[in-house]
Amino acid sequence: MKSPASKITAVVAQHNALVNARFSFAPMQMRLFIALLTRIDFNDEEFQPQFIPFEELLHSKSKKGGSSYEAIADMCRDITKFTVHIEELDEQTRKRKKKPVYLNRPLMAQADYHGEMGGVVASFNPLIMPYLLQLRESGNFTTAEVEQLHKLKSPYSLRIYFLLREYGDFGKRTMTLEQLRFALDIDENEYREFKNLKARVLDKAQDEIATTDIPFTYNVERSGRSAKSIIFSFPPTGTATIMTSIARPVWQQRLIESGVGNRSIATIEAQLSAGEYDEGYVEYVMRVVQSQFRKGKIKKPAGAIYKALVEKYLLEDYAASQTPRQLAKKELPKATEKKEEVAFRLSEVREMYDNPGPYALRQKRADTFEQHLQQVYLQDGFRIEKRGQEDWLVKQS
């Protein structure tokens, strides 16, 4: 179990099958769901029990006291029975099938009230793992900034927010009334008159989401006097990200292009700052892992890169590769000593640009490879050198 002080991520993600699944939360259940999402890293391979302080589950205006804690205890009991009606994914690709098959999946493995600890210990059910973990492998997911989610009070607003984020690149999404009712788990007997659904769900969501990064307007398509479809319009936003290709150092940009996520890069940056290894080791690891990936020896290069960096198990091999060969056991004259350098094969940089992983596709990048070279490498002090039969990007440090 992670401690109450464990770091949480600024960006969360869901598989699009979960974004479009049928379920509805009570407000406190929604806050627990968001709290657990913030404790998932892109490289996590399984769920771990997480400690969620009571403060994250109570509305900011709620009075702290016996009734509030009783409500949390009741929520813990009820949410363990919570199920999601969701599309089955293809086992190999983890993509949605052309002919959807729906399954009922329990959302939670546990939600235990711990009054003496001042919080709840909870974890998602392992059956939900394909919809929340290792999402870069499927490339079929939607991200959102936690800061934006905390502006939403209504569970319907949260669900509509993610439904619009899925179409963030397009600035428009049309849903039939039947599709919207399905996703929000609104039964036919609820809000039978459209004016009630409009006031209680759509207008309320519009007011709340107006304060986020994807404010929307909507129009109603009708057949006669009956509402048939909702056309949502909003400013195109792409997907939520805190990374841009231009603003980051080259080693970070290379990790992004390899599919390594924000939180993992922060860990690597901390190790670099602590002097546990240098940027040359980062490049060495990426070169080794990419070679293994091309040979079919590994299936998840991003995870392999992160593990090799954090656990440092290739550090001895890297150090050995950097040991200069001695010429007759004589020291080289100082005049011929070379400065430390960082070098990338131009062909590898081009291959990564032409074949970005799902995560890299969601980053802001240059329109052409030449612009990419200029923005990421040449402006950072790299130059192109011919070495043997290959072109290299080289930077002296």
The pLDDT assigned to 356 comes to: 64
Q: Mark which of 121, 150, 179 sits at the end of a domain.
A: 150
The pLDDT tens digits for 226-264 are 999 999 999 887 543 333 333 467 788 778 777 777 667
Residue 108 lies in a domain: yes
Distance CA 257, CA 353 (A): 7
pTM beyond 0.95, yes or no: no
Residue 190 lies in a domain: no
User: What confidence tier does 329 reach under pLDDT thresholds 50, 70, 90?
Assistant: very low
The domain of 363 spans: 250-326+338-396
Whether the pLDDT of residue 333 is over 70: the answer is no
Q: Mark which of 115, 132, 150 sits at the end of a domain.
A: 150
Residue 309 lies in a domain: yes
Same domain for 146 and 255, yes or no, is no
Residue 255 lies in a domain: yes
Residue 56 lies in a domain: yes
Which are the contacts of 393, defined by CB distance < 8 A and separation ≥ 6? 343, 344, 345, 346, 349, 373, 377, 382, 383, 384, 385
Q: Mark which of 126, 150, 174 sits at the end of a domain.
A: 150
Determine the average pLDDT of the residues in 57-72: 79
Same domain for 266 and 145, yes or no, is no
Residue 82 lies in a domain: yes
Residue 126 lies in a domain: yes
| Number of separate domains in the chain | 2
* Sheet with strand 390-396: strands edge to edge: 341-345, 390-396, 383-387
Residue 297 lies in a domain: yes
Distance CA 230, CA 236 (A): 18
Same domain for 145 and 20, yes or no, is yes
